[in-house]
């Protein structure tokens, strides 16, 4: 199943994001999470890939397991800053052997690239998108930033870069985290004005604590609305209270996005199932909204 084809049906698309575990214990936990979330019948799950250039084959292997053993449709993240075109071709060959046709084309974060690992073949995700589309074997998606990319000088400049991805052949977009739906809908307006008319899946994740909130604001430059900040501060130290508040906030946000016309939801799971399952239950009171 190609993600773009699923989006064209007009039905809401629901997906979850995982990252490759590093230990046997974490692997067992992820597989348990995958089994639990499979019960929600997601349209796909995505698997992240480090920008460092040292983990792509772990991503490929996990994608293969999730598809062949768990029966999940998989979108493989692929970053390009730390790879040559020949290396990208080798990774793509591995994906094809596992019958994985969905890829999210990403530049990667320069600060996470290992010393001496930066390559010169790619500078932008649009260049990787061009190569993947030219290959002909993949359904290619891209990332976007409702509040603009942290490195971009302005929302206008960010949209210009996004237009390059769209023109290169990206078929849909998945957003970075955001906690105020106005950012998402204003972003759609800016994109449409620039001639970008791709489906945009909003990416959501409940905040779990004050430290995580600080990380998002400092590293990702994500805005934390005052009601969310106040709630995080109020429930800090109360694990159950924090979970309920965070899930309720994310559930209201998800409901507003769907009612406003979002084509679905992409939930960042941190390899855990509890919050995602609670959000789905809040939305519909059933296994799947």
Report the pLDDT value the prediction gives residue 287, as an integer from 0 to 100.
Answer: 44
Q: Domains of the chain by range and CATH?
A: 3-281 (3.20.20.220)
Report the pLDDT value the prediction gives residue 41, as an integer from 0 to 100.
Answer: 94
Contact 118, 79 (CB under 8 A): no
Report the pLDDT value the prediction gives residue 289, as an integer from 0 to 100.
Answer: 65
- The two tokens of residue 90 are 């080798």
Please state, in angstroms and rounded to a whole number, the distance separating the CA atoms of residues 239 and 184. 29
Report the pLDDT value the prediction gives residue 54, as an integer from 0 to 100.
Answer: 56
Report the pLDDT value the prediction gives residue 207, as an integer from 0 to 100.
Answer: 86
Report the pLDDT value the prediction gives residue 109, as an integer from 0 to 100.
Answer: 76
Report the pLDDT value the prediction gives residue 1, as an integer from 0 to 100.
Answer: 87
Report the pLDDT value the prediction gives residue 110, as an integer from 0 to 100.
Answer: 66
Residue 60's H or E segment, with its range, is: helix 56-68
SS3 for 1-32, per residue?
CCHHHHHHCCCCEEEEEECCCCCHHHHHHHHH
Long-range contacts of 55-63 (CB under 8 A, 24+ apart): 55/20, 56/83, 56/87, 56/91, 57/91, 57/94, 58/20, 59/20, 60/91, 60/94, 60/95, 60/98, 60/100, 62/18, 62/20, 62/21, 63/95, 63/98, 63/100
End-to-end Cα distance, the chain: 20
In the block, tokens 């899930």 appear at 247
Report the pLDDT value the prediction gives residue 179, as an integer from 0 to 100.
Answer: 95
Report the pLDDT value the prediction gives residue 285, as an integer from 0 to 100.
Answer: 53
Whether 17 sits among the annotated catalytic residues: the reply is: yes
**Residues sharing a CB contact under 8 Å with residue 61, sequence separation 6 or more, in sequence order:** none
Strand, coil or helix: what is 232?
Answer: helix
User: Whole-structure pTM over 0.85, yes or no?
Assistant: yes
Long-range contacts of 7-11 (CB under 8 A, 24+ apart): 7/171, 7/172, 7/199, 7/263, 7/264
**pLDDT tens-place values along the chain, 289 residues long:** 899 999 999 999 999 999 999 899 999 999 999 999 999 999 999 999 865 555 667 889 999 999 999 999 999 999 988 888 998 999 999 999 999 999 999 998 766 565 555 667 898 999 999 999 998 889 999 999 999 998 899 999 999 999 999 999 999 999 999 999 999 999 999 999 999 999 999 999 998 877 777 777 777 788 999 999 999 999 988 999 999 999 999 999 999 999 999 999 999 999 999 999 999 999 875 445 6
Contact 181, 256 (CB under 8 A): yes
Report the pLDDT value the prediction gives residue 286, as an integer from 0 to 100.
Answer: 43
Report the pLDDT value the prediction gives residue 76, as an integer from 0 to 100.
Answer: 96
Annotated active-site residue in 11, 17, 164, 233: 17
């Amino acid at each position: 199943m190609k993600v773009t084809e699923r989006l064209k049906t007009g039905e809401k698309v629901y997906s979850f994001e995982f990252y490759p575990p590093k230990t046997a214990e974490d692997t067992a936990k992820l597989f348990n999470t995958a089994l639990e979330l499979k019960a929600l019948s997601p349209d796909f799950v995505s698997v992240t890939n480090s920008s460092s250039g040292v983990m792509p084959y772990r991503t490929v292997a996990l994608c293969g397991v999730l598809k062949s053993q768990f029966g999940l449709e998989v979108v493989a993240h692929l970053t390009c800053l730390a790879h040559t075109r020949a290396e990208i071709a080798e990774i793509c060959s591995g994906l094809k052997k596992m019958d994985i046709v969905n890829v999210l084309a990403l530049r990667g974060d320069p600060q996470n690239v290992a010393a001496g690992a930066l390559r010169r073949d790619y500078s932008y995700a649009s260049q990787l998108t061009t190569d993947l589309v030219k290959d002909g074997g993949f359904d290619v998606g891209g990332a976007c930033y409702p509040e603009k990319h942290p490195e971009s000088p302005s929302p206008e400049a960010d949209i210009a870069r996004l237009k390059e991805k769209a023109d290169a052949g990206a078929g849909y977009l998945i957003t970075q985290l955001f906690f105020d739906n106005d950012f998402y809908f204003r972003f759609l307006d800016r994109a449409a004005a620039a001639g970008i008319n791709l489906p945009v899946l909003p990416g959501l994740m409940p905040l779990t604590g004050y430290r995580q909130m600080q990380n998002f604001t400092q590293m990702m430059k994500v805005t934390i609305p005052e009601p969310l900040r106040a709630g995080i501060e109020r429930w800090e130290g109360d694990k159950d209270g924090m979970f309920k508040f965070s899930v309720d906030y994310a559930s209201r946000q998800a409901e507003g996005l769907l009612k406003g016309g979002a084509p679905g939801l992409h939930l960042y799971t941190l390899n855990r199932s509890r919050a995602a399952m609670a959000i789905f239950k809040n939305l519909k009171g059933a296994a799947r909204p």
